[in-house]
Amino acid sequence: MGNFTGGQGGKFSQLEVVEEIISFMEADQKRSYQIVIGTDSSLLADRSADFVTAVVVHRIGNGGRYFWRRETFKKIPILRDRILKEVLISIDLAKEILIDLKNLKAPDFNFEIHVDIGTNGPTSAMIQEVIGIIRAYNFEVKTKPESYAASKVADRYT
């Protein structure tokens, strides 16, 4: 898994991202926090696909921080395959980040995975399948229009 870029620039390892998230949460312990992971992708001219995954920590009612990373995979031209790859990338990263947060004794937070699909458009037929996959891993899931980590943050860098 590659390095992350912070929303303000700067490069971070995955562990440094987790440390930054914990530091952000500890700075105002009276607030509630939500950590969200979402991935978006775009098809490139050579038929490979560019995937951007965002990790967002939201201080409810008072802003947040985000980090993102880019990965490119060869020959994933079919939209269905790209959506499933987005979901699997988010799930794999979620499992790793949650282990790190637990090991570093992070304050309490809510957690969600955001997917860039909704009830309209070409991916609408996949919505129940994608929700089922994510819930099978015991994660909360949000789709459009509530899936800001994927449809706004990650999408900004694809």
State pLDDT tens for residues 18-76. 999 999 999 999 999 999 999 999 988 888 899 999 999 999 999 999 999 999 999 88
Task: Please state the rounded mean pLDDT for residues 93-122.
Answer: 96
Average pLDDT, the chain: 95
Global pTM reads 0.95
Please compute the mean of the pLDDT values over residues 128-132 and round it to a whole number. 97
Which residues share a beta bridge with 54? 38, 68
36 contacts 58 by C-beta, under 8 angstroms: yes
* pLDDT higher than 90, residue 128: yes
| 153 CA to centre of own chain | 9
CA dist 29 and 59 (Å) reads 10
For residue 95, how many C-alpha atoms fall within 13 Å in the half-sphere facing its CB? 10
Give the pLDDT band (50/70/90) at residue 2. Answer: low
Q: What is the pLDDT of residue 45?
A: 87
How much of the chain, in percent, has pLDDT values that exceed 70?
99
At 1 the pLDDT is 44
- How is the chain split into domains, by residue range? 4-157
